């Protein structure tokens, strides 16, 4: 499902115009991104959590040049679904 598909579905279900739904969806995503950039996790009860994970410094290899490189410590965004979300998906998907 793409963002456009999501906007269409929400618009059908709520009766709200697609333009307004698209602005709302984009504002939602932007707020989550800004919160994670500020190192603030976002918790949506019954859905899941958008969290920032810390990756430690590590040594990697560039196979084509046969050299070792050091990847510095960094942070990545992550999503952890709620247990009820996971259980609902398990029941529906086969």
Residue with tokens 């999503």, as numbered in its chain: 79
Q: 58 has which bridge partners?
A: 71
- The helix or strand, by DSSP H or E, that contains position 64, with its residue range, turns out to be none
19-50: per-residue pLDDT in tens? 999 999 999 999 999 999 999 999 999 999 99
Contacts of residue 61, Cβ cutoff 8 Å, sequence gap at least 6: 67, 68, 69
56-83: per-residue pLDDT in tens? 999 999 999 999 999 999 999 999 999 9
pLDDT value at residue 93: 75
**Domains along the sequence of the chain with CATH:** 3-92 (4.10.520.10)
């Amino acid at each position: 499902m793409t963002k456009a598909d999501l906007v269409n579905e929400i618009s059908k279900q709520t009766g709200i115009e697609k333009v307004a739904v698209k602005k709302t969806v984009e504002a939602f995503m932007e707020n989550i991104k800004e919160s994670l950039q500020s190192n603030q996790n976002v918790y949506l009860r019954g859905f899941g959590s958008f969290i920032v994970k810390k990756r430690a410094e590590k040594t990697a290899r560039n196979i084509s040049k046969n050299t070792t490189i050091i990847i510095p410590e960094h942070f990545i965004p992550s999503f952890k679904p709620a247990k009820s979300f996971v259980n609902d998906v398990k029941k529906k998907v086969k």
